[in-house]
């Protein structure tokens, strides 16, 4: 598992299937009396989205991890406009009534120069884990001007450290021109402490010298539609 092994993008076959993904964070803004059918309606919506090619990988309870967030929704699919439309549908659903979007980030998988076999877990059909940590990051101005061999060596060292945590699965996607960041990373793990320990472990690498931004962090547990209703109550 590597924090940055999807970096140094090369052009891929335009006919290949594309994997876009979108993380959107909602905050409860006003108190709303939700009907008993709100959770069931949301599950039906997720089914309709799947029929349209939009996959709901999970919804996550991010409440109390920070003051400005309650639920994070993770979607992916081949068409970015379908992901945008899906978020609008979710925002308008009875379950998400009385919420505001506080953060949203889209990314797309692009072939990695130094690890061509590295692909996001969601694009390979890997089952989602119980806990998710999502954050963006931006490399230093010097990073992209370094010799390929030097960058490649730093990324490989970074990836080797990540192998100490095989239970953590990685989803690194490119977000150049899609927002304020260059990369978005979603890390999944069976236990929350796995994410804490991995992130600390990966601090001890040379590649850390070439990170100038890596906030905000959103972390939470994968929850059911009924649990979403409780979080937003």
Closest CA to 54 of 76, 74, 72, 25: 76
Is-contact 74 23, C-beta < 8 A?
yes
Domain annotation covers residue 11: no
How sure is the predictor about 45, in pLDDT bands with cuts at 50, 70 and 90? very high
Q: Which one of 135, 141, 144, 218 is the catalytic residue?
A: 135
Does residue 128 fall inside a structural domain?
yes
- pLDDT tier at 16 (50, 70, 90 boundaries)? low
Domain total in the chain: 1
| Confidence check: pLDDT of 65 > 60 | yes
Q: Are 107 and 180 in contact (CB under 8 A)?
A: no
Helix (H) or strand (E) run with residue 195 in it: helix 192-201
b/e per residue 98-116 (b: at least 16 CB within 10 A): bbeebbbbbbbbbbbbbbe
In CATH, what number is assigned to the domain containing residue 30? 3.30.70.1030
To the question of pTM greater than 0.75 for the whole model, the response is yes
Structure confidence by residue, pLDDT tens digits, 80-97: 999 999 999 999 999 999
Q: Does the pLDDT of residue 2 top 50, yes or no?
A: no
| Bond before 216 cis per omega within 30 degrees | yes
Q: 99 by DSSP, 3-state: which?
A: strand
The answer as to whether 55 is a domain residue is: yes
Report which DSSP code applies to 165: -
Residue 199 lies in a domain: yes
Tens digit of pLDDT for each residue in 155-211? 988 888 889 999 999 999 999 999 999 999 999 999 999 999 999 999 989 999 999
Q: Residue 92: in which H helix or E strand, if any?
A: helix 80-92
Q: Is 119 in contact with 9 (CB distance < 8 Å)?
A: no
- Please indicate, yes or no, if residue 12 is contained in any of the structural domains: no
Residue 135 bears catalytic tag = yes
Q: For residue 71, which phi and psi values (nearest 5 degrees)? A: -130, 135
Is 201 marked as a binding-site residue? no
Q: What angle do CA 35, 37, 41 make, to 5 degrees?
A: 125
Range of the domain at 97: 1-6+17-233
Task: Give the separation between CA 122 and CA 164, rounded to whole angstroms.
Answer: 21
């Amino acid at each position: 598992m590597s924090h940055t092994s999807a970096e140094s993008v090369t052009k891929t076959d335009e006919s290949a299937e594309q994997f876009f993904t979108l993380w959107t964070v909602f905050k409860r803004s006003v108190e709303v009396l939700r009907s008993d059918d709100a959770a069931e309606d949301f599950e039906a919506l997720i089914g309709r989205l799947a029929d349209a090619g939009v996959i709901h990988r999970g919804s996550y309870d991010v409440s109390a991890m920070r003051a400005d967030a309650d639920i994070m929704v993770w979607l992916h699919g081949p068409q970015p406009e379908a992901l945008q439309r899906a978020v609008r549908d979710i925002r308008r659903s009875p379950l998400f009534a009385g919420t505001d979007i506080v953060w949203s980030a889209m990314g797309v998988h692009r072939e990695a120069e130094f690890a061509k076999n590295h692909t996001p877990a969601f694009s390979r059909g890997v089952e989602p884990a119980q806990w998710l940590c999502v954050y963006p990051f931006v490399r230093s101005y010097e990073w992209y001007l370094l010799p390929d061999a030097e960058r490649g060596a730093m990324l490989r060292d970074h990836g080797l450290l990540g192998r100490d945590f095989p239970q953590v699965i990685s989803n690194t996607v490119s977000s150049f021109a899609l927002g304020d960041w260059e990369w978005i990373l979603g890390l999944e793990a069976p236990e929350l402490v796995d994410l804490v320990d991995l992130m600390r472990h990966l601090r001890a690498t040379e590649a850390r010298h070439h990170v100038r931004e890596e906030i905000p962090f959103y972390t939470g547990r994968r929850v059911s539609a009924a649990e979403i209703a409780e979080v937003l109550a």
